[in-house]
Structure 1
Amino acid sequence: MKRVIGIGGIFFKSRDPQALAAWYRVHLGLDVQAWGGASFEGGAGPTNWCPFKADTEYFAPSAAPFMVNYRVADLDGLLAVLRVEGCEVVGEPQASEYGKFGWVMDPDGNKIELWEPPTGE
């Protein structure tokens, strides 16, 4: 079973996400979109970059100011294997038009997002 097949995104907390995104747009040329982040095309698909509000609960239960999103081929299968291996899977998987999402904690207490893109991406 393939596990991680790429990085889907880098997400981090900011006191002022809009101002930070504007800084990256102006000074580093990131094409920041209306949703607040930028997307980079790559071999395995796009990689997203996005600042979140400093008080977001999306990274909980991690106290880290960042979260890495890893692209996976089979979210349900990987979550099942991670549970068998004794990993701390958090929350229930969610599906949306953007694909399927699940979460696991690493040994340092960082929440990791696992993302299975929609078919065809």
Structure 2
Amino acid sequence: MAKAIGLGGIFFKSRDPAALAAWYAQYLGLPVEEWGGARFVEDAKHPGYLLWSPFAADTSYFAPSTQPYMINFRVDDLDALLAQLRASGIEVDERVEESEYGRFGWLMDPDGTRIELWQPPAA
């Protein structure tokens, strides 16, 4: 049987795609290309994996966002990135969660989407 072998991208609507892409490039370091999106190539030097995970319709995990989705980015240094974001005036959730899966932090983008930052555990 033919099957899906991984996620090919995250696609969503925005009121101002160019401004949102510029925000992600400036504050999260996404390598936004001329066509307006970012391409990530797997790098064996950085541990991690990609998840696909439906949540219950009444989940509060995406709050305070009212969007029906959340975006998770792997990061190389959660503490440094959270400090950079705060220094730039971006409201960042004060809570940092640590578990066997790694460390997690959260913020909201200009469109009101909850962003989860994930630093995987050391390999």
**For this structure pair, what is the TM-score category when the shorter chain's length is used for normalisation?**
0.5 to 0.7
1:62 paired residue among 39, 61, 65: 65
- Note the C-alpha offset of 1:46: 1.6
Structure 1 Cα separation of the partners of residues 87 and 94 of structure 2: 16
The structure carrying a bigger strand percent of its residues is: 1
Unaligned runs of 5+ in 2: 9-40
Counterpart among 89, 93, 96 of residue 99 in structure 2:
96
* TM-score, length basis structure 1: 0.64
Output the TM-score relative to the length of structure 2. Answer: 0.63
Which of 1 and 2 has higher RCO (CA within 8 Å, sep 6+)? 1
**1:107 aligned onto 2:110:** yes
- Give 5+ residue unaligned stretches, structure 1: 1-25, 32-37
Displacement of 1:29: 3.3
Q: What's the RMSD between the two structures over aligned residues? A: 2.4
Which stretches of structure 1, 4 residues or longer, exceed 6 Å deviation after superposition? none
Deviation per residue, 1:20-72 (Å, 9 max, x gap): xxxxxx9x7358xxxxxx889x7244211110000000000000000110000
In the other structure, the counterpart of 1:119 is 122
Residue identity matched to 2:51: N
